[in-house]
A and B are shown apart, each in its own frame.
Chain A
Amino acid sequence: MKKVFRFLGPYFYLLPALLIIFVFRFLPMLYAFRVSFYKWGMAGAEKFVGFSNYINIFKDSNFWQTFGNTLYFAIGVVPGSLFISLFFALLLHKSIRGARFFRTIYFLPVITSIIAVSMVWKWLYHPNVGLVNNLFHLFGCRGFNWLSEWRGIFQMFFSSFGLGIPIKGPSLALCSLIIVSIWKGLGYNIVLFLAGLENIPSQYYEAAKVDGATQWQLFRFVTLPLLSPTTFYVLIMTTIIAFQMFAYVWMMTGPPAGGPLGTTNVLVYYLYDHAFNFSRYGYGTAAAFILFVIILTLTLIQRKFIESRVFYG
């Protein structure tokens, strides 16, 4: 008996976590795989349909619009957040008095819920009485319909010069969400970069200075390579988070959410909409798998092509 207990003992420690992870993480994924091959409605499985959920998704022009919007969103948020947060981390790292104060301030949006942030920015973006347009008015500009402008930003830019160039770009509404998302996540990335900067041993800088390196050379040949593991981590995490964007769309756009003209609809909202507003669970699950594959592929691509440039000291 004692022997049995000794053998099973370690598993008892693992059991509570294992049980929950198995039932609420692993099992749903297995189950989902099955569901995605069915026409699955309110009452459960209705009909086995093979791959047609997947095929219908790929045939759906809304899906492709959504996919494009999600790409635009990520392309806007990821480099934007990366460069701005690196810039401010470098400034804060120079041990300016009050650096800690600024870091705290910058971090405030990070701990605030997306719902609260969305609410506040929706108010700031209000077309008639919002603060953003009011500031534009103060400078004699007309302001914009931030959250309900469906025209692409390039289209707007060129048409203001009277040029009809057929490049649209992301709608202004989507760009408004990009701005909010960068604003909210900036503090977290700054903190990550600061931690990375603190981990660079000062000997490297001293040695480079002895060799007569300029400020730019210090940054280019010491800071940047030694910071690259952090940069890589921030890049991957920001990309993954950008592809999971959902609450901003639910809160700030529409009605119907995803508008105007579907230009702010993103993948997660697309699958949520199909599953929970139209009870098309099979279709929604298939979309979820596609999202998963997209995120996984992106992570792997980044690992393959960018990680080779990362310098792990």
Chain B
Amino acid sequence: MAKKRFSKIVIVLILSLMGILMVLPFYWMLITSVKTPLEAVHFPPTWFPQHFRFHNYIEAWNQVPFPRYFLNTIIITIATLIGVLITSTLAAYSFATIRYRGRNFLFLSFLAMMMIPIPVYIVPGYLILTKLHWVDTYLALTVPWLANVFSIFLLRQHFMTIPKDLYDAAIMDGCSRFGFLIKIVLPLSKAALVTVSLFSIIGSWNAFIWPLVVTSKDVLRPIQVGLAYFVQEQSTNYTLLTAATTFTIVPIVLLFFFLEKKIIASFARSGLKG
């Protein structure tokens, strides 16, 4: 018994050490963000700020148009979320429940598209956008992301678990195909829809390489690109940089703390189907 107890203590100790390793960078970011510039570079380092300087946040917020970056990211996140939900639901519904010519071919082609990594797209994607004169517009930041093969795949897997009998019964009762989707399928698929939405929101909020490439105007930059350039310009002003970094991750961390169970379950599920 004593041996078991001992091994449990060792396990908790190892887990705590790793926990500290995971949290320490965030803690260091937070305390640097409220230190005075002088204290931030003091040796030996202070583990708790001697004077709180919340003014860093105001200064960082006003130095570059962060409000605008936030607005851009919110616009992109919402537009993408709505688009992905509509296109994925419809496409997944057709792949899962309707039989038609070329269905399997189309589905496999979609899956093949998923094999191509985003960095491979950036140059040709950018060239297509220049042809459309979409570079430096909100269209470039949203429209290409309004459909997402992964979401289609995830929803299709879920829709296929809905029994065919249910469909036949609903049609017998005079329900249309679209009505069946709205009235029966969607309410039964809340968990899958939440997963798709969470991936979409987190993905849009954290997107970097695509908006970096398709925007050159400051006013169109989403939050990650704005922060990245801010870091590049203010390369030594670490109190301001950590303050800015903090407020860019607050929304997503809040979302995580409210929906922690759902978010982790979604990520876990993303692996199971492979």
Contacts and interface: CB of A to CB of B under 8 A. Distances in A.
Interface of A: 9-11, 13-21, 23-29, 31-32, 35, 40, 88, 91-92, 94, 96, 98-99, 102-124, 126, 128-129, 131, 134, 137-138, 183, 186-188, 191-192, 194-196, 199, 229-230, 233-234, 237, 240, 243-244, 246-247, 250-251, 268, 271-272, 275-276, 281, 284-285, 288-289, 291-292, 295-296, 299
B3 to A, nearest CB: 12
B268 A191 contact: yes
13 contacts: A16-B86, A17-B88, A19-B147, A25-B116, A32-B127, A105-B22, A119-B241, A120-B26, A123-B29, A129-B43, A237-B271, A250-B212, A268-B209
Given A21-B149, A91-B11, A116-B245, A111 B263 contact: yes
A25 B15 contact: no
Interface in B1-41: 8, 11-12, 14-16, 18-19, 21-26, 28-29, 32, 40-41
Given A88-B18, A96-B11, A24 B227 contact: no
A247 B209 contact: yes
Contacts of B32: 123
Nearest to B144: A24
Contacts of A105: 19, 22-23
B171 interface: no
Counting chain B residues whose Cβ lies within 8 A of the other chain, the interface size class is: 35 or more
B127 A28 contact: yes
B127 A13 contact: no
B21 A183 contact: yes
Contacts of B174: none
A13 B44 contact: no
Interface in B24-65: 24-26, 28-29, 32, 40-45
A245 B241 CA distance: 23
A196 B267 CA distance: 12
Interface in B221-274: 224, 227-228, 231, 238, 241-242, 245, 248-249, 252-253, 255-256, 260, 263-264, 267-269, 271-272, 274
B227 A119 contact: yes
Contacts of B24: 131
Contacts of B118: 244
A163 to B, nearest CB: 32
Given A14-B90, A14-B91, A20-B87, A119 B245 contact: yes
Q: Which 10 A-B pairs have the closest CB atoms?
A: A32-B124, A28-B124, A13-B94, A17-B91, A20-B147, A113-B206, A24-B144, A195-B268, A192-B271, A10-B100
Contact of A116 (B40, B90, B143, B248): B248
A235 to B, nearest CB: 11
A113 B206 CA distance: 5
A240 B117 contact: yes
Given A13-B90, A32-B127, A285-B124, 11 more contacts: A20-B144, A29-B120, A115-B208, A116-B249, A120-B245, A121-B25, A192-B271, A196-B271, A237-B271, A247-B228, A292-B120
B75 to A, nearest CB: 18
B125 A24 contact: yes
A113 B244 CA distance: 13
Contacts of B128: 23-24, 27-28, 31
A134 to B, nearest CB: 5
Interface string B192-219: 0000000000100110110011000000
B12 A244 contact: no
Contacts, number: 262
A31 B249 contact: no
A121 B99 CA distance: 52
Contacts of A137: 43-44
A28 to B, nearest CB: 4
A148 B253 CA distance: 31
Contacts of B87: 16-17, 20
B123 interface: yes
A23 to B, nearest CB: 8
A138 B263 CA distance: 39
B224 A102 contact: no
A131 B24 CA distance: 10
A18 B91 contact: yes
A284 B125 CA distance: 12
A196 B7 CA distance: 24
A167 B29 CA distance: 37
Contacts of A119: 227, 231, 241-242, 245
B15 A91 contact: yes
Nearest to B273: A233
Contacts of A250: 212, 228
Nearest to B257: A104
Contacts of A272: 119, 122, 209, 213
A98 B23 contact: no
Contacts of A126: 238
A124 B28 contact: yes
Contact of A108 (B115, B231, B253): B253
Nearest to A107: B264
